[in-house]
Structure 1
Amino acid sequence: MSQATKRKHVVKEVLCDFIRPTEKQQVVKVVGSPGNNLHEVVTAGGEQFLVSMPTKFRKNIWIKRGHFVIMDPIEEGDKVRGEISSILYREHIHHLQKLGVWPDGFNQQKEDDRRRGRTEAKEQGEEEEEEGDDSDLFVNTNRTNCHYSESEEDSDDDEEEEEEPDE
């Protein structure tokens, strides 16, 4: 199987398969990536540990901080205590919430994050958008937001410079 064909099947599996975690599997949230295909995760109860990414996902699927994954526990693991079995996107999370198997701890965290965001926005004097949730929009942090405004002093100086050559 070629690399492109393998990638196609892995991506299709991740995006299209709506799975339900088994009794041993656990839904966790990615909080960091120290490297070497390891990811630091936190459970709904607040416990933090490392999980490994299986070979089939490497260089095919990317996981960022804040994503949710389903992990299989590893009994002999001391620092690395699990392996990622599935990556959950928004549709998968909604599916698990409808089934009633989504951990309650993550629902509470999400509400707290929303409230914290609303409070910070009010403190900064920004208006809230009630029409839709824009939390998933990508913001390029590599570019600064510049706001240009012309002052009257700058425009007066330009006019004086233009008038001098006429005299």
Structure 2
Amino acid sequence: MSTPPASSDPDRTRRDIQQTRAELGETVAALAAKTDVKARARTKATTAAGGLRQRVTQAGQSAKTRATQLAHTMSQKASQRAKPVAQQAQRATSAIHDSAKAGAETSGKAESTLITSARAASTRIGSSIRAKPVPILAATSTAATLAIIAYRRRRYR
């Protein structure tokens, strides 16, 4: 600050004094701000927290994007790998269904044959029973019981 030349105008001197006071006030305020450690620390902390929030938000968005991409990729791969398995399962199911159907037809034929044989044997036994009722009747009932037991065992396996 240099000393202004002396002027005879008092209004100008007053304006210079007011301007100097204003400049001095600004300088004092700046020095006070520099010496206020708490305020400077708060400002730094606020700035750092803002930057950290921004980085965390960006990292979260990046992670979400990456997770979405990975989920889509894994879904596609799973779908590609599931198609052959589903086709194979469908073929196996069809084969099992066909085998079961064939087995049922065969079983039905075997049952018919067995029933026909049993009827023929029953007719033969009936005529034998009429001739010798007691011993043949006991043997026949035992044989019939054993045949029924064998049939049931085969059927429930």
TM-score between the two structures when normalised by the length of structure 2: 0.22
Structure with the larger helix share:
2
Structure with the larger strand share:
1
Pick 1 or 2: higher relative contact order, CA cutoff 8 A, min separation 6: 1
Q: Which structure has the larger Rg over C-alpha atoms?
A: 2
TM-score between the two structures when normalised by the length of structure 1: 0.21
